[in-house]
Amino acid sequence: GEDVEQSLFLSVREGDSSVINCTYTDSSSTYLYWYKQEPGAGLQLLTYIFSNMDMKQDQRLTVLLNKKDKHLSLRIADTQTGDSAIYFCAGDLGASYSGAGSYQLTFGKGTKLSVIP
Amino acid sequence: DGGITQSPKYLFRKEGQNVTLSCEQNLNHDAMYWYRQDPGQGLRLIYYSQIVNDFQKGDIAEGYSVSREKKESFPLTVTSAQKNPTAFYLCASSIDLTGTSGRELAQYFGPGTRLTVL
């Protein structure tokens, strides 16, 4: 099976860039995802990257994928207090695909981002 | 607006009681999932369902049961056999694998239900 690892905490000052890192053990993922969870809420899909891409930019978000090192990162430019949340990376697995109609994801444990005003 | 709803938002249960958490989606998704979230442990898969009238156990199914009688609905029952049921429960759904983009293959989550056993 696949492990997806993230550091648990990150603290940055408002206006700085945040970089949240994720490593995974299985390179068969086709898509990798970043989710955001605000306190007491569900997970919100932020962005995703296809495994044949190295980088994807979406407004303040930049996703970098290094397949050789099995490393995924999410950079948030000009971090705001509203970005304070837990961020999860998740990947699909060829091995976890259980047939038509289902698509299992493996999630990291989440990185809690705290933005200091 | 399409989305996933979970009810109730907060639920309190006495020990020894069964309780059912509701999950409804109007996204026309085929697959639905139940996760449990505990502090510092991320998400753990309880059950998932690919199609109506079919469901599979996830990593921590013991003490839980589900049904999938309608495409839109996937209720989760937390039984008295679940030893430590206090947690945040998340329901998700995803389109089937005929989708062609990562966004279509992603799981979309409801707002969650916080269950507390008294």
Q: Chain A partners of B8 at a C-beta cutoff of 8 Å? A: none
Mean of all residue pLDDT scores within chain B: 90
Contact criterion met (CB < 8 Å) for A102 and B48: yes
For residue B95, the model assigns a pLDDT of 79
Q: Chain B partners of A109 at a C-beta cutoff of 8 Å? A: 40-42
B83 in A contact zone (CB under 8 Å): no
SS3 at position A83: helix
Question: In this model, does residue B106 exceed pLDDT 90?
Answer: no
For residue A24, the model assigns a pLDDT of 87
Q: Which two tokens stand for residue B100?
A: 């062609």
Q: Chain A partners of B115 at a C-beta cutoff of 8 Å? A: none
Give me the residue from B30, B45, B103 closest to A101, CB to CB: B30
Q: What is the pLDDT along chain A (117 residues), one digit of tens a residue?
A: 558 899 999 999 999 999 999 998 876 777 889 999 999 999 999 999 988 889 999 999 999 999 889 999 999 999 999 999 999 999 886 544 445 445 678 899 999 999 999
B24 touches B73 (CB < 8 A)? yes
For residue A95, the model assigns a pLDDT of 40
Amino acid letter for position A75:
R
Q: Which two tokens stand for residue A89?
A: 């990376």
Query: CA-CA distances (angstroms) from residue A14 to A21, A41, A48, A77, A111?
Result: 19, 23, 24, 10, 17
Interval B35-73: pLDDT, tens: 999 987 789 999 999 889 999 999 999 999 999 999 999
CA A24 and chain centroid, separation = 11
For residue B2, the model assigns a pLDDT of 72
DSSP code of residue B101: S
B109 in A contact zone (CB under 8 Å): yes
SS3 at position B89: strand
Give me the residue from A42, A50, A108 closest to B102, CB to CB: A50
Q: Which two tokens stand for residue B115?
A: 């269950």
CB neighbour list of residue A55: distance below 8 Å, 6 or more residues apart: A49, A62, A63, A64, A65
Return the half-sphere exposure (C-beta side, CA atoms, 13 A cut-off) of residue B1.
Answer: 3
Query: CA-CA distances (angstroms) from residue A41 to A44, A81, B5, B103, B114?
Result: 9, 17, 12, 20, 10
Question: In this model, does residue B11 exceed pLDDT 50?
Answer: yes
Q: Which two tokens stand for residue A78?
A: 């000009």
SS3 at position B102: helix
Percent of chain B residues past pLDDT 70, beyond the cut? 92
| Mutation choice for B interface testing from A45, A63, A103 by most B CBs within 10 A | A103
For residue A97, the model assigns a pLDDT of 47
Q: At A86, give phi and psi (nearest 5°).
A: -100, 135
